[in-house]
């Protein structure tokens, strides 16, 4: 009887979007001074195994356009503005990649089932369901989702990864290799006082960060913001939402949609994801031309 009870608890705990076997880096990342995307430090290949590349499908020349984060074997989180204009049939998710365009030996490309955006256009988050489950490997692993109520303390060190611009002044300077940046969490009070324009305070559903070594930049949108927990696992705290127009500006905040703030939304998504009628009522399904116009008015950096 006790064994049955324990099994029931474990099953209940393991169910749900995300996975309990998460946040592992079989290939260890190199951390420390010099981490930056703008100007950039190249990541150790495979060391950020949840990083996903959003591409047009191979039938449309497979062009990279945004980042994302693998959270289990069939779901990727990204920014809603990344997918507003995209058709799921013309989108592919690249996992296990180090090169932005060239194919890596460890890479897996997966077609998309649907792309569900939050209905509020100011809440810049979307979940992508893959057509098939992916098999984990050293270079393909899910990041952990935060626990309910987790709060990031000010000055916490976090990391972002991406293939965005490496020179904030050069629109053609996309990195061919995955880059990493070290950032620092700001309180909303300090963020709004010192790092945001007076008429544009950071909303409560975002994480506010500042540059430590480098910054995120154009085409890093949707990419993961992660924190290493005390037990060594990596927690997905957010996805890239908004940054300064000039990526190297030191006194401007970089904002990430907070996964903790959207935990209830993700749970609700999970309850309707396999019911097309309920899913279409719950979220904006990409593509959505009206949503694209709304998203383009708030200064996002994709």
Residues noted as catalytic: 81, 124, 221
E strands present in the chain: 36-42, 51-56, 64-70, 75-78, 91-95, 108-117, 126-130, 157-162, 179-186, 206-213, 224-228, 234-242, 254-258, 284-285
d(CA 167, CA 122): 28
Q: Among residues 222, 205, 226, 223, which one has the least CA distance to residue 123?
A: 205
Under 8 Å between Cβ of 138 and 46: yes
d(CA 294, CA 287): 13
Two tokens at 214?
């480098």
DSSP one-letter string for 95-123:
ES-SBSSSPPTT-EEEEEEEEEE-SSTTS
- Region label for 62, one of left (φ > 0), alpha (ψ between -120 and 50) or beta (otherwise): left
Q: Among residues 150, 166, 121, 169, which one has the least CA distance to residue 297?
A: 121
d(CA 232, CA 53): 25
CA distances from 219 to 31, 67, 86, 166 (A): 22, 8, 15, 10
Under 8 Å between Cβ of 107 and 97: yes
**Which residue is listed with tokens 């924190």?**
227
């Amino acid at each position: 009887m006790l064994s049955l009870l324990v099994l029931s608890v474990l099953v209940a705990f393991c169910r749900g979007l995300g996975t309990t076997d998460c946040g592992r880096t079989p290939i260890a990342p190199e951390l420390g001074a010099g981490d930056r995307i703008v100007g950039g430090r190249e990541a150790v290949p495979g060391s950020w195994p949840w990083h996903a590349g959003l591409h047009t499908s191979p039938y449309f020349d497979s062009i990279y356009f945004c980042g994302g984060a693998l959270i289990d074997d069939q779901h990727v989180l990204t920014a809603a503005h990344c997918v507003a204009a995209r058709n799921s049939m013309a989108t592919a998710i690249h996992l296990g990649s180090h090169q932005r365009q060239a194919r890596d030996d460890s890479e897996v490309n997966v077609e998309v089932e649907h792309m569900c955006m939050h209905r509020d256009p100011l809440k810049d988050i979307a979940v992508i369901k893959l057509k098939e489950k992916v098999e984990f490997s050293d270079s393909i692993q899910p990041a952990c989702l935060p626990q309910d109520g987790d709060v990031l303390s000010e000055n916490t060190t976090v990391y972002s990864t991406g293939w965005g611009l490496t020179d904030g002044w050069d629109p053609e300077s996309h990195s061919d290799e995955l880059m990493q940046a070290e950032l620092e969490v700001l309180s909303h009070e300090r963020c709004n006082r010192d790092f945001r324009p007076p008429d544009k305070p950071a909303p409560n559903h975002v994480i506010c960060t500042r540059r430590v070594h480098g910054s995120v930049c154009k085409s890093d949108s949707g990419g993961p913001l992660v924190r290493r927990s005390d037990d060594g696992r990596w927690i997905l705290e957010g996805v890239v939402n908004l940054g300064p127009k000039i990526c190297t500006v030191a006194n401007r905040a970089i904002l990430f949609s907070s996964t903790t703030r959207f935990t209830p939304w993700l749970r609700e998504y999970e309850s309707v994801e396999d019911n097309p009628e309920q899913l279409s009522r719950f979220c904006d399904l990409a593509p959505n031309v009206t949503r694209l116009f709304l998203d383009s008015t708030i200064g996002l950096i994709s």
